[in-house]
Amino acid sequence: MVLTKRTKTWSNTKPASKEDAETHQERTDMMKRADVDEFGKFSKDGREFQVGEAMKARGLTAQYPVIIIPGIVSTGLESWSTSPDYRAFFREKLWGGLNMLTQVTFNKEKWIAAMMLDPLTGLDPPGAKVRAAEGIDAASSFIQGFWIWSKVVENLAVINYDTNNLYLAPYDWRLSYYNLEVRDGYFSRLKTTIEGLKKRQNKKVVVAAHSMGSTVRHHHLYTYETFKWVESPLHGNGGIDWVENHIESYISIAGTHLAKAMTAFLSGEMKDTVQMNPAGAYVLERFFSRQERQRLFRSWAGSASMWLKGGNAVWGSALHAPDDACNNTHTHGELIAFRSLSLQSNDDTTRNMTAEEAGLWILQHTPTTFQKMLETNYSYGIERDEEQLRRNDLDHRKWTNPLEGKDNEFVDAVDTECTDPDSSGCEVLSNPLGRTLLRKSWIDSDYTNNSAFPKLLNGVKMGEGDGTVSLVSLGAMCVEGWKRRRWNPAGIKITTVELPHRPTVSMPRGGANTSDHVDILGSTGLNEVILKVATGVGHEVTDNYVSDIQGYARRIQWD
């Protein structure tokens, strides 16, 4: 038996009297104060502006315009719907800010309805209209006291950056990248913004992207040679020299180049996406059940861009994986592994699975609408033929995969009863043998084994990485994949900088030397890299390794 943690929520009914209304407001205010206090400890810690001041003391100043592309759940989202059902939300933030906490506490079902996307079109559901917030504040902080990009902005401001030469490119991270252009014209506007900055400043642009933002960049960028969308004559039509003429440097920060997580799509469990960012995970896990998170994630096609790419060639087999240590007791090649329990020991539905097997298994137990969304928007294989890679240039499904994978394998979901897009109450899934999967498998958060190698923490096998993204996903393309002509035909120089993770235990966000997935945005080392590139001394940034990513990358089956 497994128990789902549930949180107490207040009724959404209208207060019956003035006293009830006052009590309701007091509860709202109390809830807000509690969460503000909880996040407040993550705010200022004395490091503000220090990196910028050090660069300014060297006589360095703004040289290149800077564009910031945030990661998943980092951009605030606000309602623009005027329909009666959602009119109370108009111009209020549904994602990010204190209002979100109020809505998910007191008006959760209506909030879910507004935040979910139509499972068939991947666009706005009837009556709802949610759009990305605009401006630098759209992703500076997730909520009061929990910064995201604000440390970077503060340091850039010291060396003469402002809204004239610094632009944050917010986007609705729920959408597939194709629909970002269809609905919001995102890539058209980004192209125009870059061209405008180049014209006004007479300087090329530096682009800095974090986490899922690096995958947005893949959709825009063709292996550092041309921006795929911009280059495509069917889309941006910018020509093959557009990047050469407009982009000075690109900085990928904690990029989800090859994968991030899978279980959220299957069961809504987030133990392996714990810091997508921590504040976003906090909201989703505090206020929503696994089933509710499952519904949300499956409708948010943007998150599916972080599906595993490269299959077993990248992630390994049941016998070994590129990032296995020499004395490991269990291979990372088995992406999903089960403990042998007496009731499950002979059950084929609980066999250990490699990346390819796990991906197929998850697809077999998700709605057909989710499968179709994945098929029509993304690629997750590996392509080694250079001629086929060139033919892929016009296929938008390939643009989020730096390996330019082959066509997706569509799985007919005849083995699942959960094919109805609105089947929120569907709980019984059947496997190919016809046996029920109800409660047969889950991430066992009560299970920890520190003697295993790699160790198991709260049901999750811990590998190397930044606390969220695995080391292979973070660095394999940087140190090996993009060093190969087929994926970097222009031979653009790639510099890889690994920063040691040396958090200060007494500081909630880790302090100046953390390399956690989100907290790294406030680290001294990363801010120095960004400011050096922006001020024209990027040549001072050199390769730096603190892990064996080079060795791991060499063991991947690239050829």
Residue 334 predicted with pLDDT over 60: yes
CA 353-355-361 angle, to 5 degrees, is 60
In a domain, residue 386? The reply is: no
CB 205 within 8 A of CB 173: no
User: Identity (one letter) of the amino acid at 344?
Assistant: Q
Average pLDDT score over residue span 144-154? 91
Q: Are 517 and 466 in contact (CB under 8 A)?
A: yes
Question: Is the pLDDT assigned to residue 266 strictly greater than 80?
Answer: no
Say what the pLDDT of residue 217 is.
Answer: 54
Cβ contacts of residue 227 below 8 Å, gap of 6+? 191, 220, 221, 236, 238, 242, 243, 247
Cis peptide before 402 (omega within 30 of 0): no
Q: How many domains would you assign to the chain?
A: 1
- Lowest mean per-residue pLDDT among 106-120, 236-250, 446-460, 542-556: 446-460
User: Is residue 423 in a domain?
Assistant: no
Would residue 115 count as lying in a domain?
yes
User: Does the residue 359 lie in any domain?
Assistant: no
Lowest mean pLDDT among 92-96, 213-217, 219-223, 490-494: 219-223
Evaluate whether residue 364 is within a structural domain: no
What pLDDT score was predicted for residue 525? 96
Token pair of 462 as six digits: 């811990």
Judged by DSSP in three states, 147 sits in: strand
**Mind listing the pLDDT tens digit for each residue in 511-545?**
999 999 889 999 999 999 999 999 999 999 999 99
In a domain? residue 237? yes
**Secondary structure string (H, E, C) spanning 432-461:** CCCCECCCCCCCCCCCCECCCCCCEECCEE
Please indicate, yes or no, if residue 490 is contained in any of the structural domains: yes
CATH number of the domain encompassing residue 249: 3.40.50.1820
Calculate mean pLDDT across residues 238-246.
83
The residue range of the domain holding 79 is: 2-6+44-304+464-555
pLDDT tens digits, one per residue of 387-442: 777 777 767 777 667 776 443 444 444 344 344 444 444 433 333 333 333 445 66
> pLDDT-based confidence at 101, cuts 50/70/90?
confident
Per-residue pLDDT, averaged over 296-316, amounts to 85
The span from the CA of 404 to the CA of 487, in Å, is 8
Residue 61 has pLDDT above 90, yes or no: yes
196 vs 310, residue with greater confidence:
196
Which residues are bridge partners to 470 per DSSP? 465
Stronger pLDDT, 55 or 239, i.e. the higher one: 55
The alpha carbons of the chain give a radius of gyration, in whole angstroms, of 23
**What is 240-274 written as a DSSP string?**
TTHHHHHEEEEEEES--SS---SHHHHH---TTST
pLDDT band at 269 (very low <50, low <70, confident <90, very high): low
Alpha carbons 136 and 112: distance in angstroms, whole number: 26
> Rounded CA gap, 472 and 490, in Å?
24
Looking at residue 527, what is its pLDDT? 97
pLDDT of residue 419: 41
Pick left, alpha or beta for residue 49 (phi over 0 → left; psi -120 to 50 → alpha; otherwise beta): left
pLDDT tens-digit profile of 379-388? Answer: 777 877 777 7
Tokens 């006052």: give the residue. 22
Q: Is residue 95 part of a domain?
A: yes
The catalytic residue positions are 211, 466, 517
Residue among 13, 38, 35, 8 at smallest CA distance from 23: 13
pLDDT for 424: 45
